Structure 1
Amino acid sequence: MRITLHRRALLLICFSLTTLAGGCKEEKKPVEIPPEQLVGLFKNISGCRQKYAEMDARIDAAGVRNPAFHRVPGFPYLRTDRLMASYRDQLGTFDEAAGWVRRMREFDQEAREFEYENLGMTSQEAAILRFDFLVCSQGLAGLEMEIPSNFELVRESASVPDDYSTKTQLLGLYPLSTPLLRSKISRFENAVRAEFAQPAEALIGDGPQVQWQVDQVEDLSLVPKHIYETSPDELGLPGLVDSAWRAVAEAYAPQLAGSADGKAGLLGAPTWTASGLTVDTSKPTVNYQIGFVRFGQMSLIQVDYFLWFKRPAGTSVAKDAAPIDGLIWRVTLDEFLKPLAYDSLRASGSEHFWFPVQTRLQRQAAVDGQPPFLPQDGLAPESPRLLLASSNGELRQVQSAATPLAKAETRRYQLQRYEDLYRLPLPSGGSRSLFDTAGFVPGSDSEAPGWMLASGIAEPGRLRHLAHLPVDYIGRRHFDDAHLLETVFVPLPAPPIPAQVELGASAPPAMSAMSAGDAAR
């Protein structure tokens, strides 16, 4: 009997759903240090796991768990992200393992700071817990990572679940819907290319024009001239002091331009009010986050900029949806800390656009999943101006900031850390994150075609946290994937290390799993 393509797809769906329902494997658990061995110098960590369990239960019950990092199962003092997860099978030295574990401990401590604040703790209460869990994480990591099976379990478990649902894909007949997805994407991209090709005057419109520039507060001479002037950690990730990172963010903060009609589309700051979430347009604000991307043998610096706009009424599915929309602009810097490439994304994860800046970048010949989209011909300028739609901040063109806008009123925006969004003040006192525990902005539902569900992206119209942004409707890539840049462009060769900063000629000794605990202490 011949089985049709449609029947095969249905059989695949039935098999996959059965697997999803019953294909559970036994969860591995870490080997814990017996209590009788936690004496003397280790007596103060004897109750640490119980403390973690109680605090995490309290955090989860209050719904204030920070969505920036993923808890490593079985190890409550470790959290990870996609960048750290990308190193788990490439730890070849003692120092690399030490830095990897230390980074995940720091992620946990960082996330807890915001969780304490949103629980309403006093400064004294938070300080006591900060010290207690610092001691606990140092002690537990130092002891438990000495056990080879524990270190291997961390390697296996330190991954980040993706934001695609296989079950949703199957229910949406993803195998059969892919041609439809490709057709919809193609039509959308053609429309965007046509819009980007229009004269800037037509895109801005006849309304009052405004351009925003960053309010500079740091000395830009703090920006290093070469990536080797930074202080890399054990994994090779560049390091700078806070003021230098702020200078980097200010140096490449984009100029913005659009039409301001006084009703919507104005740059502002997310704000909790008595009636819910809104955007305060009296405080033009752009949040920034420093990140890294792996590009061949190099780890490059990225700066993400988050623009928030007040969304006009009548553009959302839910009647009481929050009037907020957003755009992300990302700058990837080369080894000389100059713009190498830009990419942009709606804060819901849609409209992922690429803009190469340097001729050195060559497109990959073949790309798995959804091909990257370059909406604008030629190279983007090193000093860009983003032309934005007045209704929702949609990106319409990238032009040079040197191009004059004679009729535009110039305003300033404040640059604030992305982490500030984790503790927005509440009108009744206390604080609340902009994001819920799943990484969504509550109530930010917006229009999204039903066909998008076939991609496996749950609630595709909702605004999301940086760590929860799927960017492909065909494939399974995320905005914070550690290797995303090299799926689009051919990696550049790593520059030679200048002689004046060369360190010892001998390579670090090979590391065994047993020695990782030593490094974690």
Structure 2
Amino acid sequence: MRLRTMALAAATLAAGGCATLQSPFDAHLASPVAQVRECADWFAALDASIDAAGVRDASATRIAGFPYLRTDRFSASLRAEAARDERALNALADRLWGLDFDARRHEIANLPEAARVELGKRTGEPEITRVAARTRECGRLLREIDLAKPAQRAALLERLAVPDDYVSAYRIAGLYAVTQIPFSSGVRRFQDETRAAFARDPHAPAAGTRIRYSPSERPRLSAARIAAMVQPAFSDPLAVPQPSESDLELLYAHFAPSFEIDTVGDDDRPGALRWRRGSMPEVEGADVSVYRQVAHTRYRGRNLLQLVYTLWFPERIAGAGRASGARGGFDLLAGKLDGLVFRVTLGPDGTPLIYDSIHPCGCYHLFFPTAAARTTPAPDGQLEWAFVPQTLPAIGADDRLVLRVAAGTHYLERILVDRADSVVRYAWRDYGELRSLARFGPGFRSVFGPDGFIAGTDRPEGWLFWPMGIERAGAMRQWGRHATAFVGRRHFDDADLFEKRFEFDLK
């Protein structure tokens, strides 16, 4: 198959000569090589079907002129390496192609049956697997052709970027230069309250009942074995750590936290997301699940592995967190669905360097460095830079991190290191499941809309906080769409997030 693809690429190069193409895809649509033209037509038809059905996946960013490639912030940060080395460029193109195909698998699964039948007329059958296979074949062909041309390689690298998730027009209209001042005061007030929560006696009574949810028994892994698992493959010119599936299973289990949740009502009981009869997903409390995924960050030219754990709650109840304990009434921060995202960043030797967390709205970004990480000062004192309410010690072989979560608000209030286990186990689910979840009836649907938001999760705060440039502040967001600062610009998946804010002692 690869030889056939290369032969077709060579035929297209011969037919196209040395013409400079401003938009590679337009040239493919008019290609004199039938199979190339048909593949371009395929992507055009597929994109039209996806957009018409409203099932576009927003996690990765599409690259203009290259419909078979997508990028995320980490991949875009590898552009300089790819520009210097052809092997690195090919490896990066493989990565971008993989991001696109992963997104398209979900988009194809989420298409209505009628749309797949229409696409099936081009492949001979409407099965999801055949439509996906055609997409893979055509993406491989167009990639081979474009990477063979210097102009297309240059165009790809030039366009390899992810727009930030801030709306500059909102900041202009909202007089951001002025309104950021009271917002900065609000941020500092939240930080003061968070410090106070972390400083409370851990044995103080809870508002309700503390229920601890833990994964299965922690696997015993030696430091040497963990270090071997997180090493990049020697054959990878980009040196990106990509453990095998079996190694990932062990790493997820080894570094997984327990969650100790102050439980007052059903809104404090976590679970898996499910489609029912409504227009938004619901939490199934009988199926306590933690969603997991891999991510990467960069530090001084090194690529570091990250493990991400996400927990979902049914809602944030109005009045949660009030000093009086009374619930109900108007609450800027209340709304359907809530959650907690916890991330572990590993050094090249597999030792945790830093932990951090947000809620799925991108709010409440907290950093928890270990002894191997030191905060660097912010360039501007008004910026939300790196709020550290607690530092964490090294974790023993039999220890596990325990995340203490508040009732109602689901704020992270403290991280404990404890050997005590729990009788309540949580199950593992891949975060990717949320991008194509079985409907209550036939078919599949992402919990996220084409804009990257979960419909129906907006908070009243969005009407007040828009001058900070964050669209629909408080609404639950898809991975890759988390703006995490009201004052300044910061994303949870920024490739230089830690490099800017911390000094790491790498071993």
1:171 maps to amino acid: A
Which amino acid in structure 1 is aligned with residue 165 of structure 2?
A: D
Q: Give me the whole-angstrom Cα distance separating, in 2, the residues matched to 1:482 and 1:104.
A: 16
1:124–1:245 distance in 2 versus 1, CA, 3 Å = farther
Which residue of the other structure, out of 434, 456, 459, is the alignment partner of 1:446?
A: 459
Q: Which moved more, 1:134-143 or 1:327-336?
A: 134-143
Aligned residue number for residue 429 of structure 1: 442
Deviation at residue 209 of structure 1 after TM alignment: 2.4
CA separation of 1:56 and 1:322: change in aligned 2, threshold 3 A: farther
**TM-score, L = length of structure 1:** 0.81
Alpha carbons of structure 1 residues 380 and 307: separation in structure 2 relative to 1, 3 Å: farther
Counterpart selection for 1:394 from 400, 403, 411 = 411
**Would you say the 8 A contact 1:45–1:135 is kept in 2?**
no
Structure of higher RCO (CA pairs closer than 8 Å, 6+ residues apart): 1
SS at match of 1:184: helix
Alpha-carbon distance in structure 1 between the residues aligned to 2:438 and 2:159: 35
**Preserved contact between residue 223 and residue 244 of structure 1 (Cα < 8 Å):** no
In the alignment, is the contact (CA less than 8 A) between 1:341 and 1:356 conserved in 2?
A: yes
Among 101, 120, 135, which residue is 2:93 paired with?
101
The one-letter amino acid of 1:324's match is L
Q: Secondary structure at the match of 1:467?
A: coil
Structure 1 distance, partners of 2:37, 2:444, is: 33
Distance 1:181 1:260, change over 3 A: closer
Residue 243 of structure 1 is aligned with which of 236, 239, 246? Answer: 246
Alignment CA distance shift 1:465-1:318 (3 Å): farther
2:401 counterpart (360, 368, 384): 384
Q: Does 1:278 align with 2:282?
A: yes
Q: CA, structure 1 residues 131+219, in 2 after alignment: closer, same or farther (shift >3 Å)? A: farther
What's the CA shift for 1:127?
2.1
Deviation string for 1:22-73 (max 9, x for gaps)? Answer: xxxxx9523755789754xxx4323111110111010011111111111101
Specify the alignment match of 2:13 in structure 1. none
Q: 1:48 to 1:37 in 2, by over 3 A?
A: closer
SS across alignment from 2:375: coil
Distance 1:347 1:239 in 2: 25
Q: In the superposition, relative to structure 1, how do residues 52 and 322 fare at CA in structure 2: closer, same or farther (>3 Å)?
A: farther
Q: 1:349 maps to which residue? A: 362
**TM superposition shift of 1:386:** 0.4
Asked if residue 252 in structure 1 is aligned to residue 269 in structure 2, the reply is no
Change (3 A) 1:312 1:187: closer
Contact residue 266 and residue 390 of structure 1 kept, 8 A? no
Q: Which residue of 1 aligns with 2:4?
A: none
Matches within 5 A, 1:284-363: 284-311=288-315, 313-314=317-318, 323-357=336-370, 359-363=371-375
Cα displacement (A) at 1:208:
2.6
CA distance in structure 2 between the partners assigned to 1:62 and 1:219 by the alignment:
47
Output the CA distance in 1 between the equivalents of 2:360 and 2:176. Answer: 24
Q: Which amino acid aligns with 1:395?
A: L
Contact 1:355 1:379 survives alignment (8 Å):
yes
Structure 2 residue corresponding to 1:371, chosen from 382, 385, 395? 385
Question: Does the CA contact (< 8 Å) of 1:78 and 1:108 recur in 2?
Answer: yes
**2:437 aligned partner, one-letter code:** L
Amino acid at match of 1:274: R
Q: Aligned-pair distance for 1:459?
A: 0.9
Q: Which amino acid aligns with 1:273?
A: R
Gaps of 5+ in 2: 1-20, 117-124, 320-328
Compute the displacement of 1:388 (Å): 0.5
Q: Do the aligned residues in 2 keep the contact of 1:32 with 1:144 (CA within 8 Å)?
A: no
Identity between Structure 1 and Structure 2 (%): 29
Q: Partners of 2:416 and 2:357 in 1: how far apart?
A: 14
CA distance in 2, matches of 1:164, 1:130: 33
Question: What is the alpha-carbon root mean square deviation over aligned residues?
Answer: 2.7
Number of residue equivalences = 457
CA distance in 2, matches of 1:366, 1:312: 32
- Measured in 2, the distance between the counterparts of 1:489 and 1:114 equals 36
CA distance in 1, matches of 2:486, 2:109: 37
Amino acid corresponding to residue 417 of structure 1 in structure 2: D
Shift of 1:314: 3.6
The equivalent of 1:45 in structure 2 is 36
Q: 1:37 to 1:68 in 2, by over 3 A?
A: closer
- Shift of residue 106, structure 1, vs aligned partner: 1.0
Contact 1:318 1:445 in 2 (8 A): no
CA contact (8 A) 1:164 1:470 kept: yes
In structure 2, the CA distance between the partners of 1:219 and 1:241, relative to structure 1 (3 Å rule), is farther
Report the CA distance shift for 1:395/1:113 in structure 2 as closer, same or farther (over 3 A): same
Q: Secondary structure at the match of 1:468?
A: coil
Structure 1 residues 366, 487: closer, same or farther in 2, change over 3 A? same
Equivalent pair of 2:354/2:369 in contact (CA under 8 Å): yes
Q: TM-score, normalised by structure 2?
A: 0.84
- Report if the CA contact (8 A) 2:176-2:468 is conserved: yes
The residue aligned with 2:62 is 71
Query: CA contact under 8 A between 1:263 and 1:312: conserved in structure 2?
Result: no
Whether contact under 8 Å (1:272, 1:425) holds in the other structure is yes
Task: Give the match for residue 479 of structure 2.
Answer: 466
State the secondary structure of the residue aligned to 2:413: strand
Contact 1:385-1:401 within 8 A present in 2 as well? yes
CA 1:214–1:367: 2 relative to 1, 3 Å: farther
Measured at CA, do residues 467 and 223 of structure 1 come closer, stay the same or move farther in structure 2, by a change above 3 Å? farther
Q: Is the 8 A contact 2:462 2:472 kept in 1?
A: no
The CA distance in 2 between the partners of 1:101 and 1:300, in whole Å, is 20
1:72–1:354 CA distance, 2 compared to 1 (3 A): same
**Is residue 224–residue 230 contact of structure 1 (8 Å, CA) maintained in 2?**
no
SS at match of 1:416: strand
* 1:391 counterpart letter in structure 2: G
Residues 322 and 197 of structure 1, relative CA distance in 2, 3 Å threshold: closer
| Per-residue Cα deviation, 1:367-412 (whole angstroms, up to 9, x for no partner) | 4542210112x4355331100112142211111123x59xxx6300
CA displacement at 1:241 relative to structure 2: 1.6
What do residues 68-105 of structure 1 show as CA deviations (whole Å, max 9, x unaligned)?
Answer: 11110111111111111112233211110000111111
